[in-house]
Amino acid sequence: MGKHKKEKELTGPWRNLHGAVWMIGLAILAWKGWWFPGILVLVAISMVIEAALMAVVPGAYRTRSSDDADDDHEEVDSRAAPTPAAAPAAAPVVDAHPYELLPVTCPKCGGPVRGNEVKWTGLRSADCPFCGANLPLQRKD
């Protein structure tokens, strides 16, 4: 239980090539009816292809520990730099835009003005999302 076994596995298109060899090989075995010793020949061909890939294309494999066996769908490049630890979550930013001062419609095009759709160009300046006109903010009384 405490032992971590490291395994090498194919990644990317090399994994697809290996799968294609097996599918074509199994199709030939089924078509010809050569199940035995054909399956042994297919295993040997598979091992030769893996050895050739390991010698010719070193980036075709990644190392994974046996703890990662559950996570077969994640593609990880073993040559990539390790990712830094996540930064602590920052305090939520309070939106300082005065939505209540926006007009209901744009004075230029008449389009509806919604605070979440306008383009804020400053703390107290916004543009219409439809025509781009600067929207006059209403004054607080």
Task: Give me the percent of the chain exceeding a pLDDT of 90.
Answer: 6
pLDDT at 60 over 80: no
Per-residue pLDDT tens digits for 89-100: 555 555 677 778
Per-residue pLDDT tens digits for 19-38: 888 899 999 988 888 888 88
Interatomic CA distance for residues 25 and 31, integer angstroms: 10
Q: From residue 130, give the alpha-carbon distance in Å to each of 107, 116, 123.
A: 12, 13, 20
Helix (H) and strand (E) counts in the chain:
2, 5
The predicted model scores a pTM of 0.38
